[in-house]
Structure 1
């Protein structure tokens, strides 16, 4: 047998596979224009929503209230509040890893990079980073049993990069976001990031907003609350296409109850991924492809009102391209494009270049081709990620106020199937050096966990302790500091308690 025959046959089959593959073609310049539009739109959106972030909780911004904007606003925001751009600089942490290690960089490399960053983080991001710093495996850092904020918005506001580097390739966008989102989220919180990545991927293919928000849902399990919430918004839009406020009321009535986030349960603040994704989708739908109207509505819907317009404007920026963004919005951005974001040496100008390079690399990795000035993107069917539910069967029943400081131990009784004790570690004075207290949690006399409590806020634990899936009934909970230090102490603020049954609604006698 001719030894070259197997090689020849392999080449023939490989060529046949390539030629049978369906492609969509786009010019290099057009692709770059859309990628730039996505990054630019995201940055404009987060800047526009800066003053109203979590100011409007359980309400919306009235029409008569003017939202501030001027021709050097991006520079002002980057100077006054660099932490505003966590939507961008956390994305860039992952972009840096792709640049350094390539498209198929291992998950642990992203975990190490994320854990080592010194920027401010909150909620699921901070809980996930703490877990990684304490040695928890990357794929478990965002799981709800390890992270009370697992349903929060965090990865949803950071997944833009995954869609921007997967133009027209929803399956590739899902692959990236389903992996990296587990560093800080699971369940509906993870789905928020997967959905946003798919919004961006589809925005390269379609110029109709309704098509984009609908097609992106194919990546989300239909039985999930996230899918049902976004589907509701689409249906309410179709029923009331000229009244975004009516859809806001419908969202509020059905989806405003938070279950997981200890800061949002029994409180009007709602940083849950579902409801904020609902505001993104409503902003896109009622904006009807108009950049200004999309920004206005997605901001006026309230809650996380810097992140939501950032996502909506980023997606629309891809659809319209950088050149299609009105100068009113683009002029302030251009003045800041050479300026690096906090905790990175990457400016928007550099990000445009990296984003384009990573998109081309991902396209070829997925079987696409670059033919001169033409980019051939492989046609992909969406892949639905597996179903998982956070806090299943857990219903908030009450919050016990505590307000107690202790240097050795603390006890309380709870009745239910789970609890979260909110609190923090403190130093005697600001001059006291940072250190770490260590404490153990006992439930019904049995030690169930021991944890570190760093005083450095960038390494802090978001809550003191939590436990889910307990046997229904009364439980004795105790926290013991295992290495007492006179200049350091723990503060227990309150305790969120879960029941295995929802509370009864309003009684009608």
Structure 2
């Protein structure tokens, strides 16, 4: 791979900080059927926050009822009110994945992933495919039935948000990262849901050595079936960018092709992440802003794009308005990890990466 220890540490810390910051940016507007791109930008204009260069501002006090319904957690994740990160499953799974690798090594099994969930993750802090899989595990089912039994969410975004740690610990080895992510993903997902996790892990791994977002995206695509709808969506997004379409027109085109899918489905969200990375052109703030303004699953998309941008740029290059309010602390529902230091989680990740 060729990275010196200090640079590797900076890049991995950048990934952690980017994931947490991107998640926090998107969290107040996480409700894709309500927080459309148009509504998000209307909110930003009303709060004088365009261009978006910081966390979301608090809602305008004179907004009519029903115009801007932020998530209930918004008071602790808008600018001026952040004091450490909010708790969210997009970060819980990165922590849980770290603990999985520390406990079982890189030869972990899908069954051990399920055991880790039951021991460390509260049932009510799981959602969609993960909650179905958790229930199936508790009822005694084993993989692959855990993913397939009574699970209408098999291709949603849940496995993608669990993939970062496999990329962080496989720097410059996207094939290995994708294989690890697949072993985790098949506990709860199938089809595009699994390929989304493999793509995200490979994307983050590739970011350690890529020349920029376009290079990393192309490398990650090599790890999933070219005929999959997810791969076709990522390729189409890239083609629009390279043809000179502007960001808004690209997202309009993606919506016309994937609009029948749920806003938490992995395919349209992979398109939004891809667009945010490409049009952000490797700059951290622009990448987060464009990804979250893209709508759909805003906190998950912001987290993944932030992780990639953080690895590409390194922690030292992330502007202070994103990192200082986090106070080097992360809230988590994972037993034993609440109020963990972000820096310590990154150091533990580095130890895994250098011994892999």
TM-score (norm 2): 0.85
Matched, 1:138 2:119: no
CA change 1:297–1:74 in 2 (3 A) is: farther
Matches within 5 A, 1:317-332: 317-332=310-325
- Partner-residue secondary structure (3-state), 2:222: helix
The CA deviation string for residues 209-268 of structure 1, in whole angstroms up to 9 with x for no partner, is: 111111110011011111111111111111235x2110111011011212xxxxx4xxxx
- Partner-residue secondary structure (3-state), 2:20: helix
Give the whole-Å Cα distance in 2 for the aligned partners of 1:322 and 1:164: 13
Matched, 1:70 2:64: no
Matched, 1:343 2:334: yes
Higher relative contact order (CA 8 A, sep 6+): 2
2:224 to 215, 220, 226: 220
Residue of structure 2 in register with 1:503 after alignment: none
Matches within 5 A, 1:493-504: none
The CA deviation string for residues 69-115 of structure 1, in whole angstroms up to 9 with x for no partner, is: 4255252x52xxx3xx1011122222212112222223322111113
The answer to which structure has the higher helix fraction is 2
2:352 to 352, 358, 361: 358
Give the whole-Å Cα distance in 2 for the aligned partners of 1:42 and 1:338: 13
Quote how far apart the aligned CAs of 1:57 are: 4.5
Give the whole-Å Cα distance in 1 for the aligned partners of 2:278 and 2:260: 23
CA contact under 8 A between 1:152 and 1:272: conserved in structure 2? Answer: yes
Residue of structure 1 in register with 2:260 after alignment: 257
The answer to which structure has the higher strand fraction is 1
Residue of structure 1 in register with 2:179 after alignment: 175
Matched, 1:310 2:303: yes
Matched, 1:124 2:129: yes
CA contact under 8 A between 2:93 and 2:161: conserved in structure 1? Answer: no
Matched, 1:207 2:201: no
CA contact under 8 A between 1:58 and 1:252: conserved in structure 2? Answer: no
Give the whole-Å Cα distance in 2 for the aligned partners of 1:219 and 1:74: 38
Residue of structure 2 in register with 1:272 after alignment: 265
The CA deviation string for residues 464-495 of structure 1, in whole angstroms up to 9 with x for no partner, is: xxxxxxxxxxxxxxxxxxxxxxxxxxxxxxxx
Q: Which runs of 5+ in 2 are unaligned?
A: 50-55, 58-77
Residue of structure 1 in register with 2:63 after alignment: none
- Partner-residue secondary structure (3-state), 1:25: coil
Give the whole-Å Cα distance in 2 for the aligned partners of 1:138 and 1:71: 45
Quote how far apart the aligned CAs of 1:343 are: 2.7
RMSD: 1.8
CA contact under 8 A between 2:29 and 2:35: conserved in structure 1? Answer: no
Give the whole-Å Cα distance in 1 for the aligned partners of 2:12 and 2:156: 27
Which protein shows a greater Rg?
1
Residue of structure 2 in register with 1:148 after alignment: 152
Give the whole-Å Cα distance in 1 for the aligned partners of 2:214 and 2:145: 35
Give the whole-Å Cα distance in 2 for the aligned partners of 1:180 and 1:28: 27
Residue of structure 2 in register with 1:48 after alignment: 25
Residue of structure 1 in register with 2:188 after alignment: 184
Matched, 1:282 2:279: no
CA change 1:55–1:177 in 2 (3 A) is: closer
TM-score (norm 1): 0.60
Give the whole-Å Cα distance in 1 for the aligned partners of 2:213 and 2:330: 31
Quote how far apart the aligned CAs of 1:281 are: 0.5
Quote how far apart the aligned CAs of 1:157 are: 1.2
The CA deviation string for residues 374-395 of structure 1, in whole angstroms up to 9 with x for no partner, is: xxxxxxxxxxxxxxxxxxxxxx
Point out the more displaced range, 306-315 or 49-58: 49-58
